[in-house]
Amino acid sequence: MADPQQLIKIKSLLFQPSPDRLPLKTYAILDAARDKVVYPKIVGSGIKGMCLYHGAKSIELATVAPYLVQLETDAAFTDWLLGQGWGKSWGIFLKTSETLEKLQRHFRRFLMVYNEDGKLLYFRFYDPRVFRVYLPTCNETELKTVFGPVTYFLTEGQENSLIEFTCSRAFELISNEVNFSH
């Protein structure tokens, strides 16, 4: 859990305007399976959000599913999420000009992957411990696919930090880690 000064810094990084781009909205993909408090808070908060699963899976796995939610700077949900969830690997953050619906379609494509034996598996890309290791292994084509309409991804780092990922125009990954220990 971050201290109050760290929370102010995290929030400023999540919502800082990007002067060279369109106005960006901030979203999170949250993993309801990580903590039993996540799902009821999403459902009861009144925030804009959507389950990434669809059809029967969205009902059957509702309490443990990944959710895409739009965050607002001064919303109580945002303060709760950062205050209670930072450092607990509840999810990843992203900044984009796209709508919730378009992002839901984009991220649904990554929920299932095949392993070396051809077995279909859930891919928990929205776990920051997975995402921060996976993204740097991507080649140019994979980065284009993963980023799609996203301008920035932000995740918890391993040691009291935040990592911001973006791509150059040539789709080379650029990462910036902000350490909160100093």
Number of domains in the chain: 1
Place of tokens 């903590």: 35
Q: Quick one: pLDDT band at residue 121, thresholds 50, 70, 90?
A: very high
Residue 140, pLDDT above cutoff 60: yes
Q: Cα angle at 169 between 165 and 170, to 5 degrees?
A: 95
Can you state the angle between helices 76-85 and 38-45, rounded to 10 degrees? 170
Q: Quick one: pLDDT band at residue 1, thresholds 50, 70, 90?
A: low
Query: pTM here?
Result: 0.94
Residue 150: domain span: 4-179
For residue 72, give Cα distances in angstroms to 64, 100, 108, 124.
Answer: 23, 13, 23, 25
Amino acid identity at 123: F
Cα distance from N-terminal residue to C-terminal residue, the chain: 16
